[in-house]
A = this chain, B = another copy of it.
Amino acid sequence: MSFAKLDELGHTLEALEHALSILRADEATYMATGGGEKRAEAVSILAGMYHAQATAPHIADWIDAAASEPLDDDQQAALREFRRQYLNMTCLPADFVRRQTETVIRSEQLWRELRAKGDWDGYRPALEGVVGLVREEAQLRADISKLSPYDALMEQYDPGNRAALVAPVFADLKAFLKDFIPQALEAQARKLARKPLRPLGGPYPIQSQRALGLAAMKGIGFDFNRGSLAVSHHPFCGGVPTDVRMTTRYDVSDFLSALMGVLHETGHALYEQGLPKVWSHWPLGKARGMSIHESQSLFVEMQMARSPEFWEWLLPLVEVHLGEDWTAEQILAHVNFVKQGFIRVDADEVTYPLHVILRFELEQGLVGGNLSVKDIPEAWDAKMHEYLGVRTIDNPKDGPMQDVHWPSGAFGYFPSYTLGAMMAAQQWAALEREQPKIGADIRGGNFEKLNAWRSRNIWSQGSKWSTPELLERATGEPLNARYFTEHLKRRYLD
């Protein structure tokens, strides 16, 4: 049985992934500094073993032979995802991968060094090298997948997502935000004139913040039998579904920064903990992709945890752990504060999409060959000025040099962030139609029914459907920007 061979291979790959995931999480949390060199060597060798095992030529024969074996529905879906993973990992020739790896490592190193100085001219040749290879990669992937080059890149992160589907939705959203942002800023100014921001107090001891974070995680459904919370420089959600390694970092003068980070990562963690256990050694058992994953974190962080009902539940815990008495309104004025700025990762949910749309537009040009690296600064500046009213032409550090994605060759990834935000709003709306009393549930700290809906519609599905199919099955319709824009109107204008 060829499927049985794939199944056994799945267990081997799962073991290597397990080791790699735990080693990576450990590196960012518990590893002694001096252990870094040997850790890098071990991870690189294990990753090489994974690659060798996952790309062996006989796997292609197993996949072909398994197709004519009697398989049940799940096995057929599993076979499809085995095939997808195999093609993804084998469609680039070994010598191309070597060239690309070297180029990317040097580009990232140079970016780290020159970003701080804002030295675009010094960095540009490295990015040109990366973009050249990305164009090659896109073409190689397009040859196999029969997609357009840019779609072939997106396909890696979100199977089924296509520029032709995303572009009109982004266009609607951009048009909406053009008028909406000034209105939201005005509404915010009026509100703040009546009720100024209550300054954060503190200092908030780390142990108290940690206890509050743990209580919030537990409340919204994180299973501490299968995961934990630690500290790292950059918060992440890693590990494996049976042992999710979540991290945060603490600022003693601002308890909201760690707490909102914890809520975001808990959204990712619930997805991982909710994946179907029996498929865990198949690609089918993995989370569907980046935009669906982001929809799960933003569902918690943006839809749920920036609502008044959520804070009516959480405020007593804030008082218990931090000894401060806040109102939901006071908190929401902080966490829903809108501000036009340069930096994507610091942006609020209203302005964030424009950062992403800018990159989506530019990187399509870069991959397609209609935009040259040398023209990025002008193009970036023009769009930033048009979308967010700020200028970056003399400030490449806070302009096109701000993100690691392009320096590391990750093109086609940026859309996932905003697609995730829109999908979260669309899922929230679908949930509300089915469970109209969801607000009261949250106010009462009852997250079971809400999580049951998410489990049934998203988590339990693993990678059974393409990204657009999964969204449509969960919400009853294709991606529609309206749910996100309605959400913004309710939250920022009412």
Contacts and interface: CB of A to CB of B under 8 A. Distances in A.
Nearest to A21: B42
Given A32-B226, A32-B228, A39-B18, A11 B242 contact: no
A15 B32 contact: no
A351 to B, nearest CB: 37
Interface in A23-71: 23, 26, 29-35, 37-39, 41-42, 44-46, 49
A15 B41 contact: yes
Contacts of A226: 32, 34-35
Contacts of A38: 14, 18, 240, 242-243, 280
A367 to B, nearest CB: 35
A285 to B, nearest CB: 12
Contacts of A280: 38
A243 B41 CA distance: 13
A46 B389 CA distance: 55
Interface in A210-249: 223-228, 230, 239-240, 242-244
A30 B35 CA distance: 18
- Which of A26, A32, A37, A280: most chain B Cβ within 10 A? A32
A140 to B, nearest CB: 29
A19 interface: yes
Kindly report how many copies of this chain are found in the complex they form together.
Answer: 2
A223 B228 CA distance: 27
Contacts of A227: 32
A23 B33 CA distance: 18
A240 B37 CA distance: 12
Contact of A35 (B32, B33, B240): B240
A34 B228 contact: no
Contacts of A34: 223, 225-226, 242-243
A388 interface: no
A382 interface: no
Nearest to A15: B45
A88 interface: no
A394 B197 CA distance: 76
A142 interface: no
A491 B107 CA distance: 64
Interface string A189-213: 0000000000000000000000000
A49 B52 CA distance: 13
A12 interface: yes
Contacts of A410: none
Interface in A368-384: none
B42 A225 contact: no
Nearest to A38: B242
A450 interface: no
Given A242-B37, A243-B35, A14 B42 contact: yes
A22 interface: yes
A281 to B, nearest CB: 9
- Which of A12, A16, A34: most chain B Cβ within 10 A? A34
Contacts of A228: 30, 32
A230 B224 CA distance: 19
Contacts of A242: 32, 34-35, 37-39
A240 B42 CA distance: 11
A29 B49 CA distance: 27
A225 B243 CA distance: 27
Contacts of A42: 14-15, 18-19
A11 B225 contact: no
Contacts of A29: 30
A280 B14 CA distance: 28
A22 B11 CA distance: 20
A266 to B, nearest CB: 15
A23 B39 CA distance: 12
A223 B45 CA distance: 26
A46 B16 CA distance: 7
A23 B19 CA distance: 7
B240 A33 contact: no
Given A15-B46, A19-B46, A38-B242, 11 more contacts: A12-B45, A18-B39, A19-B42, A22-B26, A31-B243, A32-B228, A32-B244, A33-B225, A35-B240, A35-B243, A39-B242
8 contacts: A18-B39, A18-B42, A31-B243, A32-B225, A32-B227, A34-B226, A34-B243, A35-B242
Query: Top 3 A-B pairs ranked by shortest CB distance?
Result: A35-B243, A15-B45, A18-B42
